[in-house]
Chains A and B, each alone.
Chain A
Amino acid sequence: MVFGRFFDWISGILGLRRNVTLGIYGEVNVGKTTLANKICMDWAGEKMGKTSKVPHETRTVQRKEKVVIPLGIRRKLVLNLLDMPGLATKVDYKNFMKYGIKRNEAKKRAKEATKGVIEAIKWLDNVDTVLAVMDSTKDPFTQVNLTLLGNLEAKGIPVIIVANKTDLKRSNTKRIREAFPEYPVVSISALKGEGINDLYEAIGKNAK
Chain B
Amino acid sequence: MPSKKVKKPAKKPTAAKKTKIKKIAGMKLKMDFISSNVLSGKNEKNRIKYILDVVKDGTILVTDGVMDPDEELNLIRETMRRVDSGFPGIEVCSLKREVAGYQKVLEQLSEQTYKVQNAFNKLIGKNQLTANLKYGITLIGPSRLIKEIKKNPDSFSVFAEA
| A121 to B70 CA separation, bound complex (whole angstroms) | 10
Chain B: minimal CB distance from A7 (Å): 39
Q: Could you mark each residue 110-149 of chain A with 1 if its beta carbon is under 8 Å from any beta carbon of chain B, else 0? A: 1000110110010010000000000000010111101100
Tell me which of B68, B70, B88 contacts A90 (CB under 8 A): B88
Tell me the number of A-to-B contacts counted with CB atoms below 8 Å.
Answer: 75
Inter-chain contact A150/B72, CB cutoff 8 Å = yes
| A117 to B73 CA separation, bound complex (whole angstroms) | 10
| A142 to B72 CA separation, bound complex (whole angstroms) | 13
Q: Does A20 contact B (CB under 8 A)?
A: no
Inter-chain contact B76/A150, CB cutoff 8 Å = no
Residues of A within 8 A of B80 (CB): 91, 114-115, 117-118
Inter-chain contact A141/B153, CB cutoff 8 Å = yes
| A147 to B71 CA separation, bound complex (whole angstroms) | 9
Q: Does B85 contact A (CB under 8 A)?
A: yes
Chain A: minimal CB distance from B73 (Å): 5
Tell me which of A90, A117, A154 contacts B143 (CB under 8 A): A90
Residues of A within 8 A of B143 (CB): 89-90, 92
| A82 to B68 CA separation, bound complex (whole angstroms) | 26
Chain B: minimal CB distance from A189 (Å): 26
Residues of A within 8 A of B76 (CB): 87-89, 117, 121, 144, 147
Inter-chain contact B69/A151, CB cutoff 8 Å = yes
Interface residues of B in 62-109 (CB under 8 A from A): 68-70, 72-73, 76-77, 79-81, 83, 85, 88-94
Inter-chain contact B73/A89, CB cutoff 8 Å = no
| A93 to B91 CA separation, bound complex (whole angstroms) | 16
Nearest B-chain residue to A145, judged by Cβ: B151
Tell me which of B69, B73, B88, B94 contacts A91 (CB under 8 A): B88
Q: Which of B73, B92, B93, B144 has the most chain A CB atoms closer than 10 A to its own CB?
A: B73
With A89-B90, A93-B85 in contact, do A121 and B150 touch (Cβ < 8 Å)?
Answer: no
Inter-chain contact A154/B70, CB cutoff 8 Å = yes
Interface residues of B in 89-144 (CB under 8 A from A): 89-94, 143-144
| A93 to B76 CA separation, bound complex (whole angstroms) | 17
Q: Could you mark each residue 20-61 of chain B with 1 if its beta carbon is under 8 Å from any beta carbon of chain A, else 0? A: 000000000000000000000000000000000000000000
User: In which size bucket is the chain A interface?
Assistant: 20 to 34
Residues of A within 8 A of B144 (CB): 92
Residues of B within 8 A of A151 (CB): 69-70, 72-73
Inter-chain contact A141/B88, CB cutoff 8 Å = no
| A92 to B84 CA separation, bound complex (whole angstroms) | 8
Q: Does B19 contact A (CB under 8 A)?
A: no
Inter-chain contact A92/B89, CB cutoff 8 Å = yes
Q: Which of A141, A142, A147, A153 has the most chain B CB atoms closer than 10 A to its own CB?
A: A147
* Besides A117-B77, A147-B76, A151-B70, 17 new A-B residue pairs in contact (Cβ under 8 A), listed by A number: A89-B76, A89-B89, A89-B91, A89-B92, A89-B143, A92-B89, A107-B85, A114-B80, A121-B73, A121-B77, A141-B152, A143-B72, A143-B149, A144-B76, A153-B69, A154-B69, A154-B70
List B residues at the A interface (Cβ < 8 Å). Answer: 68-70, 72-73, 76-77, 79-81, 83, 85, 88-94, 143-144, 149-153
